[in-house]
Chain A
Amino acid sequence: MFGMVATAAARKASDVAQQRRWLVGGMLVVIGLLCLWFFAMQVPADVISKYRFSGGGDPVQLPVIELPTRLTNFILALALIAFGAFHITRGVAHSGALFGVSASLLLAIFLTWSIRGASLNLTGLLESTLIRSIPFLLGALSGIMCERSGIINIAIEGMMLTAAFVSVIVGALTGNLWIALVAGLLSGALIAGAHAVLSIRFKVDQIISGTVINIFAAGLTNFLNLRWLTVNQELNNSGTFAKLPIPFLSDIPVLGTILFNQIILVYIALGLMFAVNFLLFSTRWGLRTRAVGEHPKAADTLGVNVFKIRYANVIFAGMLAALGGAFLTLGSVGRFDKLMTNGRGFIALAAMIFGNWNPFGSFGASLLFGFMDSLQLKLQILTSVIPSEFLLMAPYLATIIVLAGVVGRVRPPAAEGIPYEKQ
C-alpha cells in the first residue's frame, strides 16, 4: 500500500523532472538557434574579434588572439545547442553546472559578437569582474551567516551604506586606513545589533526590521553627508588601500594580474569565503548555527542557546556586510557619495539565493553578476544592441527565474523568519 504511494510519488517526481528538463533544455536549444542565426549568420564572414590579454603599458606583451567572429560564434552556438540536447536526453544533475555552462557559453557568444571588428582586453575585464564581485560576495556571505541561523537579512544594503560612510569619515579624520576599516566594521556590527535586538528580542517581523535598517541607514547617511561632508570636502577623502602584489605569484602572466595583484581587502574577502565555508560546515559552531536555522526547538532541547547563536551570527554578518561597504570606499574611490551602494546589497541577496545559501555557490553568482557589471561598462564604449540597463537587470531577473524553480530549486533554511519563543 505505502509502497504503491511511494512509487506513484516517485514517478510523479520523475515526470516533473522530465518536464522541467524538456523545458530548460528546449529553451537552451531555442536560444542556441537564435544565437546561431543572429550572432553568427548575420555577421559578414571576414569580420574579426580580437582578444588581448595585456594592457598597453604591461611589461610582458602577450599575443593577441584573433578570432573570426562568424566561425567562433557558429561553434559556440552549436555547443550551446548540443548542451541543451544533452540536458534533454541525459540530464545535467547539478543545477549550478547547468547554469554555469550555459551562461558562460551565452556570454562568450555575446562578447565575441560585441567586439567584432574591434579588440578587448580580456585580462582587464576579468580583473574588474573580480573587483566588482567582491562587494556582492561579502554581502552574500553576510546574508548566509545571518539566514543560516534563521534571521532574514534584507538589511545588507543598509549595513554596507553605513560602513561605507563611517569608514570614509574616520579615514579622513585619523588618516589611518586600518582604523577606518575597524570603525566601519564596528558600525556594521552596531547596526546589525539593532536588527538582532529588534528581530530576536522584540520579535519584530524580520522583513520590517530589515526595512527599518535600510531606511534608517539611507536617511542618516544622506543627512550626515549633506550636513558634514558637502560643507567640509576634506572630510570626504579617506584615501584608498594600495595594491599589494604577492611576490612571484603576481608575475604569472594573466592569472597573476587577475588574482594576485589586488588590494589586501580582496585577499581578505576571498579568505573569508573559505573561512565561512569552514565555519559553517566543519565546526561545532556551524553545526549549531544550521541546527538553529532549521529547527530551533530541537536545537534548544539539545542545550544549544538559540538566542546566543542568533545574536552572534547576525552581528558577525553585519561586520561582513560592513567590510563590503568599506571596500566600496576604502577599496576603490576613497570618498562617499549619496546612496553609493546603489542596490548592491540586494544583488548580494540575489547572489546568496542563487548560491543556495552556500559560500562557494554565492561566489560563483557574485562573479557572474560582477562580470555583467563590468561588461556593461565596457559595452558603453563599444557599440551594442543591448542597452547597458538590460545587462544591469540580469541579476534581478535571474533571481526571479531561479526562485520560480525553472532552473533547479533553491531551499532556504526552514526556520527562517520565525521568531523563536522559548517555552
Chain B
Amino acid sequence: MTKARRRERKRKSQTKARKRKASVTLRGSQCRSLRQRDTRYVNSMAQVTATAIPQNNPTPAPRNSIVRRGLDVLTIPALSILTAFIVSGFVIAFTSPEVLKLLPQFWQHPLKLLTTMHETVTTAYAALLQGAFGDWGAIWQGLESWLATGNATDLLRALRDPFESLVGATPYIFTGLAVAVGFKGGLFNIGVEGQLFAGAVASAWVGFSIEGLPWFIHLPLALGAGIAAGAVWAGIAGLLKATRGVNEVINTIMLNYIMFLFTDWLLSDGGPLRGNAGAPRTPEIYPSAYLPRLLPDPVRFHWGFFLAIGAVFFVYWLLWKTTVGFEIRTVGASPTAAKYAGIAVGKVFVMAMGLSGGLAGLAGANELLGLNHYMVAAFSPGYGFDAIALALLGKSNPFGVLAAALLFGALRNGATRMQSIATVPIDIISVMQALIIAFIAAPEIVRWLFRLRTPAQQEHEVFARGWGA
C-alpha cells in the first residue's frame, strides 16, 4: 500500500466523519425545533425593528418620566389583582348558603338579596384584610400596655398576624424566584413543588440524624442539603433536556409525582425516615439546625425571611451582574442566538434548572427548619404551584417576585382568618390566583375590561413551545 493511497484513505475517512457530525447536529427533532426557534427569533427581530421605526404609528407622548413608566408596568398586574378580587367576590356571594336561600325570592325582595350579598362579601374581605395586615388598633393598645406595664403578651398577640403574613411570604419568595429563574433561562419549571419536597426531606434528614454540632455548622449544613437535593431533582430534568432534548415541563410534572410518592414511602410505616410518633412524620430535628426565631412565642417570625431577601438580591446579582446570568438570559431570549454566540446551551439549561431547583429546595428547607422542625407529608399548601403565578405577576424580576410574594403571603394568611371568621373556605385564594395568572398571561382581557389602550410594543415573557424539544 503506497503512502499516497493511505493519505487518500485518511482524507476520505476524515470527510466522512465530518459529514457524519453534520448529520448528527441536524437530526430530525432538533432540526424542527431549530427551525421553529429561528422563525420565532426572526419574528421577534421583525417586531423590534417595527417598533424601532415608528411608521405613522399613533405613538403616545414620549414616556420619559420614571413615574409614568412605573405606572405603565404596574397597571396590568394591579388591574388583574383587582379583577380577580371582584370575580372571587361574586363567587363568594353566589355560593353563600344565605344568598342561595334568598335567590328564589329575588322578585319579592330584590334589595334584601343584594344587601345579603354585599354583607357576605364585605365580611369576608374585611376578615381577609385584617388577617393579612393585622388589627392596628389592637397593636396600638398592646404597645401602650407594654410601655405602661411591661407586659408584652397583648402586643405580641396583636403582632402575630402581620408577622405571620411575612412568614407565609417567605416560601413564596423562594419558589417564586425558582420559577422566575427558569423563565429567564427559557425553561418552565413546573416541578417546584417536588423540588421543595426534596429540599425539605434532605434538610430534615440532616437536621435529625446529626447530633452535637454547633449551630453555625449544623444550620448551614441542613440548608445546603436542602439546596442540593432540590438542585439535583431539578437538574435531572435539565440534564435530560440538554442531552436528549426532552421538554422539561413533562419531566418536571412526572418528577413531582415521583417525589410525592417517594416522600410518602420515606414517612410510611417502616419507612427509613419515619419517627417514633404514631403519625407519618420524621423525628424532630435538633435545635442546632433551627432557623432561630426573632420574637417570643405566638409570633413565629424567623430568620428565613431575611434569607429570602438575601436570595432576592443574590438572584438579581447573578442574573444581571455575572457572566453566568448573562448566559442564562441569552439562552432564555433565544437559544439559537446563544448557540451562535458560543454559549454552551445545554450546560446553561442544566445550570438554570439546578439554580431553580436549589431555590425551590431552599424553600422546603426554610419551612422545615424555621417552622415545623419535622417533616410531614402535607406540609406545603402548594407553594410550588402558586409560584407560577408569582413569577408571572413579578414579570420574572426578583424584586417583582418579592412584591408578589409579600402580597400572596398576606393573602394566604388573611384567608386563614377569613375561613375562621366568615366561614369562607381558604381555597378561594386558589381561584383568585388562577384568575390572576389568566389575566396577567392574557392582558387583552384586562385591557378590554377597563378600556385601556393597547401599547405599541408587546412583551412576551414566556415563549410558547411544544413537547418536542
In the assembled complex, A204 has its CB within 8 A of some CB on chain B: yes
Cα distance A180–B44 in the bound complex, in angstroms: 48
User: Which size bracket describes the interface of A in this complex?
Assistant: 35 or more
- Cα distance A417–B463 in the bound complex, in angstroms: 9
A99 at interface (Cβ–Cβ under 8 A)?
no
B20, B262, B429, B437: the one contacting A211 at CB < 8 Å is B437
User: Which of chain A's residues has its CB closest to B261's CB?
Assistant: A389
C-beta contact mask, A217-228 vs B, less than 8 Å → 1, else 0? 011101110111
With both beta carbons as reference points, the residue of chain B lying nearest to A406 in the complex is identified as: B244
Interface residues of A in 169-218 (CB under 8 A from B): 198, 202-209, 211-216, 218
The answer on a CB contact under 8 Å between A223 and B254 is no
Known: A227-B425, A389-B261, A400-B240. A414 touches B466 (CB 8 A): yes
Choose, from B106-114, B298-306, B440-448, the stretch at the interface: B440-448
Q: Note all chain A residues with C-beta closer than 8 A to B463.
A: 205
A248-276 interface bits toward B, Cβ cutoff 8 Å, 1 = contact, 0 = none: 00000000000000000000000000000
B126 at the interface (CB under 8 A from A): no
Which residue of the partner chain A has the closest CB to B18? A8
Partner of A215, one of B36, B261, B434: B434
Whether, in the assembled complex, B392 has its beta carbon less than 8 Å from a beta carbon of chain A, the answer is: yes
Q: Which residues of B contact A346 (CB under 8 A)?
A: 253-254, 257
Q: Is the CB of B431 within 8 A of A418?
A: no
**Is B468 a contact of A212 with CB atoms below 8 Å?**
no
Q: Compute how far the CA of A343 lies from the CA of B258 in the bound complex, rounded to whole angstroms.
A: 11
A373 within 8 A of B: no
| CB-CB under 8 A for A390 and B466, given A198-B438, A198-B442, A396-B258 | no
Complex contacts, B386 vs chain A, CB 8 Å:
215
B249–A207 touching, CB < 8 Å: yes
Q: Are B261 and A5 in contact (CB under 8 A)?
A: no
Contact B430 A215, beta carbon cutoff 8 Å: yes
How far apart sit A205 and B251, CA to CA, in the bound complex (Å)? 18
Closest to B16 in A: A8
Give the distance in Å from the alpha carbon of A224 to the alpha carbon of B427 in the complex: 9
Number of interface residues of B (CB under 8 A): 62
Interface readout for B185-199 with A: 1 if CB under 8 Å, 0 if not?
000101000000000
Taking the closest CB of chain A, its distance from the CB of B240, in whole angstroms, is 6
A94 within 8 A of partner (CB): no
**Which residue of the partner chain, among B255, B265, B392, B425, contacts A223 with CB atoms under 8 Å?**
B425
Write out the residue numbers on chain A whose beta carbons fall within 8 Å of the beta carbon of B249: 154, 207
> Complex: how many Å from CA A228 to CA B388?
29
Specify the chain B residue showing the minimal Cβ separation from A392: B261
User: Does B427 lie within 8 Å of A226, measured CB to CB?
Assistant: yes
Interface residues of B in 12-53 (CB under 8 A from A): 16, 19-20, 22-24, 29, 32, 36
**Contact between A418 and B441, CB atoms less than 8 A apart:** no
When chains A and B are docked, how far (Å) is the Cα of A403 from the Cα of B429?
A: 35
Docked complex: B192-246 residues within 8 A CB-CB of A: 240, 244, 246
B464 at the interface (CB under 8 A from A): yes
Say yes or no: B441 contacts A212, CB within 8 Å: yes
By secondary structure, the B interface counts as helix
A226 to B419, CA, bound (A): 10
Least Cβ distance of B349 to chain A in Å?
15
**A415 within 8 Å of B by Cβ?**
yes
Bound CA span A353–B188, Å: 19
Contact of A198 among B36, B188, B432, B441 (CB under 8 A): B441
Query: Is B153 interfacial (CB-CB < 8 Å)?
Result: no
Q: Are B392 and A404 in contact (CB under 8 A)?
A: no
**B142: min CB distance to chain A, Å:** 33
A287 at the interface (CB under 8 A from B): no
Contacts of A213 in B (CB 8 A): 434
CB of A361 within 8 A of chain B?
no
Shortest beta-carbon distance, A337 to chain B, in Å? Answer: 14
Known: A389-B265, A404-B246. A397 touches B254 (CB 8 A): yes
- Identify whether the interface residues of A are mostly helix, strand, loop, or mixed: helix
In the complex with contacts A400-B255, A418-B36, A216-B434 CB distance below 8 A: yes
**B213 CB to nearest A CB, Å:** 32
User: Does any Cβ of B come within 8 Å of A412's Cβ?
Assistant: yes
Q: Are A5 and B430 within 8 A (Cβ)?
A: no
Query: Which residues of chain B are within 8 angstroms of A397 by Cβ–Cβ distance?
Result: 254, 258
A399 on interface, CB distance cutoff 8 Å = yes
Residue on A nearest B424 in the bound complex, by CB: A227
Question: Nearest CB to that of B423 among chain A residues?
Answer: A227
Q: Does B307 lie at the interface of the complex (its beta carbon under 8 Å from any beta carbon of A)?
A: no
Q: Does A393 contact B (CB under 8 A)?
A: yes
Contacts of A403 in B (CB 8 A): 240, 244, 246-247, 250-251
Which chain B residue shows the least CB distance to A217? B434
Considering the complex, give the chain B residue whose CB is closest to the CB of A150. B466
Given contacts A207-B188, A216-B435, A404-B240, contact A417 B464 (CB under 8 A): yes
| Residue on B nearest A390 in the bound complex, by CB | B265
B262 nearest CB across to chain A (Å): 7
Residue B380 interfacial (CB < 8 Å) = no
The answer to whether the Cβ of A350 comes within 8 Å of any Cβ in the partner chain is: yes
**A353 and B250 form a contact (CB under 8 A):** yes
- B268: which A residues are within 8 A, CB to CB? 387, 389
Partner of B430 from A8, A205, A216 at Cβ < 8 Å? A216
Question: A228 — nearest CB in chain B belongs to which residue?
Answer: B95
Are B433 and A219 within 8 A (Cβ)? yes
B19 touches A8 (CB 8 A): yes
A389 to B442, CA, bound (A): 39
With contact pairs A389-B268, A400-B254 given, residues A222 and B425 touching in the complex (Cβ less than 8 Å): yes
A389 lies within 8 A of B462 (CB): no
Q: Does any Cβ of B come within 8 Å of A115's Cβ? A: no
Is there an interface contact between B190 and A223, defined as CB atoms closer than 8 Å? Answer: no
For residue B465, CB closer than 8 A to chain A, the reply is yes
Asked if A204 contacts B466 (CB within 8 A), the reply is no
Bits for A9-27, please: 1 = Cβ < 8 Å to B, else 0.
1011000000000000000
In angstroms, Cα B364 to Cα A316, docked, is 39
Compute how far the CA of A403 lies from the CA of B251 in the bound complex, rounded to whole angstroms. Answer: 8
Contacts of B36 in A (CB 8 A): 418
Whether the pair B32, A202 counts as a contact (CB closer than 8 A) is no
By the criterion CB–CB under 8 Å, are A205 and B462 in contact?
yes
0 or 1 for each of B373-398: is its CB under 8 Å from A? (1 = yes)? 00000000000011011001000000
Please report the C-alpha to C-alpha distance between residue A324 and residue B238 in the assembled complex, in whole angstroms. 32
Contacts of B91 in A (CB 8 A): 220, 223
A18 to B: closest C-beta gap in Å? 14
* Bound CA span A18–B413, Å: 58
User: Within 8 Å CB of B190, what residues of A?
Assistant: 207, 211
- Name 14 interchain pairs, CB-CB below 8 A, sorted by A: A5-B22, A9-B20, A152-B467, A154-B253, A205-B188, A205-B441, A205-B462, A208-B441, A212-B438, A215-B389, A216-B431, A223-B95, A227-B425, A346-B254
5 new A-B contacts at CB < 8 Å, known A226-B425, A346-B257: A213-B434, A215-B430, A218-B427, A223-B95, A389-B265
